[in-house]
Structure 1
Amino acid sequence: MAVFAAVLAAHLPLLRLPYYWDEAGYYIPAAYDFFRTGSLIPYSTLSNAHPPLPSIYLALWWKLLAFAPWVTRLAMCVLSSLALLAVYQLAIATTQKPRVAIATAVLTAIYPVWFAQSSLAHADMFAAAATLWAIVFFLEERLCLTALCFSLAALSKETAIVTPIALAVWQAWLAFAPRRWKPASEVFRHSRLAKAGTLLLPVLPLACWYIYHWHRTGFVFGNPEYLRYNATATLTPLRVLLAFAHRVMHIAVHMNMFVPVLSMLACMMLPPVDGRKRISINNQLLFYVIILANLLFFSVLGGALLTRYLLPLYPLVLLVCVNTFYRRLRQWHWLIALSAVAFVAGLFVNPPYRFAPEDNLAYRDVILLHEAAIRQIEAHYPDATVLSAWPATDELSKPELGYVKASMQIASIDNFSLLQIEKAAQLSDPYTVGLIFSTKYDPPHLPFNLGRRNETLDARFFDFHRDLPPEIIAHLLGGKVVWRAARQGQWAAVLHFDHPQLAMQTQDGLLPLHYNQP
């Protein structure tokens, strides 16, 4: 209850925000479908074959309290609190030091990626909480609870199955690995193989879910476009290598994580303080197996390089860092304070490179911009057909997401790149208003910009594109900007079109050169 009270107090200003991005695009519609009809397969959005446990959990909260964003965010704060309690228990199990456990849990709670996800209704916090408790129970040799928690993780998000499979392979390898002095005893070998078998049990409920999904939809792993984007289109060797480099940066550098990581590396050059023990080699190897398996897995699969996929890994990294501070430095509290300051700063100050707004409080800026733009449209053009891109198209057409009182007519494009604006010029839908917004954090003059070559690779493998400014979009489509606002490098604008153009000319010099595409 103490952990929950602290988490809730920290997130109070965020509880009434309407739904954001993937919340609006999948998780809330899927849960809302289950809430209304009991259907485990969503029908108001395309089924991605995600397991149904998050929908069931959220629907239960809505049934008990109300269908409202604050209830959803309250439910997610409960999950975050349970996960943080698991972080504390994990630190106790591996270090036996309450001070180290408290410091690790606090740093995890305020790490920007974790903090942002603690009130967002994504499946990753479900999977992280269950995975962390499974690791705790595994270290305590409580194998039935380990299998149960890993099963809950897999039924929350299918990709969570990588951790028990990796641990099963590790246990099997330990059973047969050659020993330096003598071969492993039969008792030891059987014990490891029993653990490996138990760790593989969560595959069964996940397989049952996929069989059910196939029976109901005809697709095992979701609709073909989703499968192509997240699996078959990601298997290029160069793409995997680039994705792995991104993943290493996410786990060791992103959102000021470099502060505790570099501090840990510096501390390792100091001699240990007498009487202070390290995390055992066996437990450290367990952590490294989990981290490496997830980094590799999410470098091969997953079209978007979202950091929330790595959510269970951040506490493991922080635990190793904090215990190293404690073991190597008498004044270790100063490094905890330095890391805490860096993390709190990361919540409010955007990094000098492109990132997903959901990695810190930048997502709040996106929501506030969209709310303000939609209020302008409702006030001045309530009956208009609105040209926009996802997720604003859902925000305008689905009142349950919290942006509009009644559904509005929309004309949809994918984004606001030149190619899509050309498509908008040819649309048959008679739109008269446009809701234009930045689809990513991409302000000009970023210090860490790797240049055109890197942008070409990002466009090829990671759907990178440049959004045209509202003024240029208005010019190309024969309209004018009637409202615009910006917050922390992100923007939104409302455009009005008297007579949308049916064709565009880009060779008149009004487009800056860097917007031209081959």
Structure 2
Amino acid sequence: MTRRIDAQERAPISVTWLFAPVFAAVTLLHLTLLRLPYFWDEGGYYIPAAWDFFRLGTVIPVTTVRNAHPPLPSVVMAAWWKIFGFHILSTRLLMCVVTTFALLAVFKLARMFVGQAAAFAVLVLTAIYPVWFAQSTLAHADMFAAAFTLWALCFYADRPGWTLSRSHNSVGRNAVWVATLFSLACMAKETAIVIPAALFCFEVMLLADRRPAVMARIHGDALPEDAERPHRLDWRWLLTLVVPALVLVLWYVYHHWKTGFTFGNPEYLRYNATANMSIKRVLSSLRHRLVHLTTHMNLFLPVIATVVIFLLPSRTGKPMLPRPALRMIAVLLVVQWVAFSVLGGALLTRYVLPAYPLLLMVCVAAWQSRTQRWPLIAGLSLAAFAIGCEVNPPYPFAPEDNLAYRDMIVVHEHAINFVTRRYPQATVLTAWPVLADLQRPELGYLKTPMKTAAVENFSREELRKATVDPGAYDVVIVFSTKYDPPVGGLNLAGHSRDDDKRFYDWHADLLPAEAAALLHGQVVWEEDRKGEWAAVITFPRGYDVRLRLPFRGMAGGRQL
């Protein structure tokens, strides 16, 4: 069945003309976030790596860990800084540009599958979904990789029978764009290879569609009139989808030549790959990832609406999605769910960033195919997403999944400002990422580095180690290293603490008063913003001070 192409779809809006309004909207929505200092992995890797390339021209960082991440984000950021200057606002605006580039791909891909009106809905829902919204100004590699990946999918899906459009580019031209864009995605982040690898397997799977035609041809039979048009094997697509893997291999060969490590240092490789291979850990991760892709940050509302609406009879006479497009999206969602349950030590939702617009396309397509009031459902979903940006869910999550990251940055910034004003010469005991914030002025928290001492976290076991040598530090900054629901409140993850501690480095941070009592200090400053807190602890220590007169020589046996 083919869908009726209305006047709006016959005269589509140019994606190029959308760039300026979408960029303006993204920038205005994030206006209060554009001057925030760098956060977590930004300061831990991406900004130092780009800073090294900016100053030294090396694609392998020298002032931070070497974890074999491809260098494209560093190159792009350094080039941007050359033009617009090295400062936080400049970086944040660059990420708004990258996010706009990604959202235009979302719009184009959705318009190909569900029409222009629904494409606008998918674009807006994607932009406001808390995980996407929070990542929109953070200098992580994931938004770079998502932007190139989504644009590659636009060219990959530009085929007869896959989209609503009747005109298509040639296979050769599309294949060149797909190879280039997927290669750029992989050079932004190595895990982007998951999607072209999945599509390679998908192309092989599509060969099964040719079996009825081949058998009919062999036996001289005619295909039924309602039979689906068989997929035509084109080796150009298979070769195209191999190119990104070859590009990634060349990067790893170069990295091994320069550092002696192929996939980064052994500790990084262990944490992100080899330590994740137990069956119990994978099963636990599959459960976590399923939550990320179905219910996390109020995503349950559009997903439940989609399930419920399928129980209703269709009132529009429109199919949901072109069958090849639906199959492609299903494969990509399942592959990302499984692959990122194995890869990566931390189950960060930004790893599956391209999955969210694909899932929302399916949801909007389902609403549109069943009811003419689908904009109401889209509006309710949008409201739920907007609430999710500010209201934390009743379970632990990474602060970068919504605007909790802003609250964490603010309390860290206030704690550091307090210490630099009151104790500028002190040695500060703290944990990462505040440790890096105190050591690297380019991260935006202070002007000159301070002396530091390190602990892994603020669990009772770690802070006990610090009591062995109390003279090694003068001040302690403690903070929440993750979000936990308030004590006594609803916590949907309370039953999984043992697995979280075993597989995901979960630990219980001591509260400021508890940490101060253990370290024999006193809390002199603290702040809490919606569950993200920080505190400063000092010590009323005594010192043995003796005054000595200066030596003036001897006269008559007495000191003068």
Amino acid at match of 1:159: T
User: Which amino acid in the other structure matches residue 200 of structure 2?
Assistant: A
Q: Structure 1's 337 and 381: CA in aligned 2 closer, same or farther, altered over 3 A? A: same
The offset of 1:275, in angstroms, is 4.0
Residue aligned with 1:46, SS: coil
SS at match of 1:483: strand
**Superposition RMSD in Å:** 1.8
Do structure 1's residue 243 and structure 2's residue 285 form an aligned pair?
yes
Task: Flag structure 2 segments of 5+ consecutive residues without an equivalent.
Answer: 1-19, 159-170, 219-228, 543-560
CA distance in 1, matches of 2:30, 2:507: 33
Note the C-alpha offset of 1:177. Answer: 6.2
The correspondence for 2:270, drawn from 221, 228, 241, is: 228
Q: Per-residue deviation at 1:376?
A: 0.5
Shift of 1:273: 2.6
The counterpart of 1:174, out of the listed 206, 220, 242, is 206
Which residue matches 1:472?
A: 514
- The counterpart of 1:51, out of the listed 70, 84, 104, is 70
Offset of 1:179 from its aligned partner? 3.5
- 1:511 alignment counterpart: none
Give the drift of 1:185: 8.1
Among residues 121, 125, 128, which one is paired with 2:139 in the alignment? 121
Identity percentage over the alignment?
50
CA contact (8 A) 1:174 1:192 kept: no
- Decide which of 328, 345, 351 is 1:303's aligned counterpart: 345
- 1:469 alignment partner AA: L
**How far 1:180 moved relative to its partner?**
5.1
Q: 2:469 & 2:98 partners in 1: Cα distance?
A: 44
Change (3 A) 1:428 1:487: closer
TM-score of the aligned structures, taking structure 1 as reference length:
0.93
Give the counterpart letter for 1:444 in structure 2: V
Paired letter, 1:130: F
Match of 2:185 among 153, 160, 181: 153
Alignment match of 1:444 (pick from 479, 482, 487): 487
**Contact preservation (8 Å) 1:231, 1:301:** yes
- What residue is the counterpart of 2:358 in the other structure? 316
Closer, same or farther in 2 for the Cα pair 1:234/1:469, shift >3 Å?
same
Mapping of residues 31-42 of structure 1, within 5 Å? 31-42=50-61
CA drift at 1:477: 1.2
- Whether the aligned pair in 2 keeps the contact of 1:353 and 1:446 (CA below 8 Å) is no
Q: Provide the secondary structure at the position in 2 that maps to 1:179.
A: helix
* Distance across 2 between alignment mates of 1:260 and 1:499: 58
Check 1:93–1:190 CA distance in 2 against 1; reply closer, same or farther (3 A cut): closer
* C-alpha distance in structure 1 between counterparts of 2:493 and 2:397, whole Å: 14
Instruction: Choose 1 or 2 for highest CA Rg.
Output: 2
- What are the ranges of 5 or more consecutive residues in structure 1 without an aligned counterpart? 501-518
Matched position secondary structure for 2:211: coil
Kindly report which structure 2 residues correspond to 1:53-68, keeping only aligned pairs within 5 A, or say none. Answer: 53-68=72-87
Amino acid at match of 2:40: W
Q: Following superposition of structure 1 onto structure 2, how do residues 61-460 of structure 1 map, counting pairs within 5 Å? A: 61-95=80-114, 97-140=115-158, 141=171, 142-176=174-208, 179=211, 182-183=214-215, 191-427=233-469, 430-442=472-484, 443-451=486-494, 454-460=496-502
Contact 1:396–1:403, Cα closer than 8 Å, also in 2:
yes
CA contact (8 A) 1:175 1:193 kept: no
2:558 is aligned to none
2:138 counterpart SS class = coil
The alpha carbon displacement at 1:423 in A equals 1.6
Residue 515 of structure 2 corresponds to residue 496 of structure 1? no
TM-score by length of 2: 0.86
> Aligned residues, how many?
498
For the 8 Å contact 1:483–1:494, the answer to whether it is kept is: yes
Q: Name the CA distance, whole Å, in 2 between partners of 1:12 and 1:54.
A: 23
Q: Distance in 2 between matches of 1:85 and 1:217?
A: 38
AA aligned opposite 1:32 = W
Report if aligned partners of 1:123, 1:156 keep a CA contact under 8 Å in 2: yes
CA-to-partner distance for each residue in 1:308-356, whole Å, 9 max, x for gaps?
A: 0010000000011011111111111110110000000001111111111
Work out whether residues 37 and 409 of structure 2, in 8 Å CA contact, stay in contact via their aligned partners in 1. Answer: yes
Quickly say closer, same or farther: Cα 1:272–1:367, change in 2 above 3 A.
Answer: same
Distance 1:320 1:176, change over 3 A: closer
3-state SS of the aligned residue for 1:166?
Answer: helix
Q: For the residues of structure 1 that align with 2:139 and 2:353, how far apart are their CA atoms?
A: 14
CA contact (8 A) 2:316 2:372 kept: no
1:2-21 equivalent positions in 2, closer than 5 A: 2-21=21-40
Identify if the C-alpha distance between structure 1 residues 394 and 317 changes in structure 2 by more than 3 Å, giving closer, same or farther. same
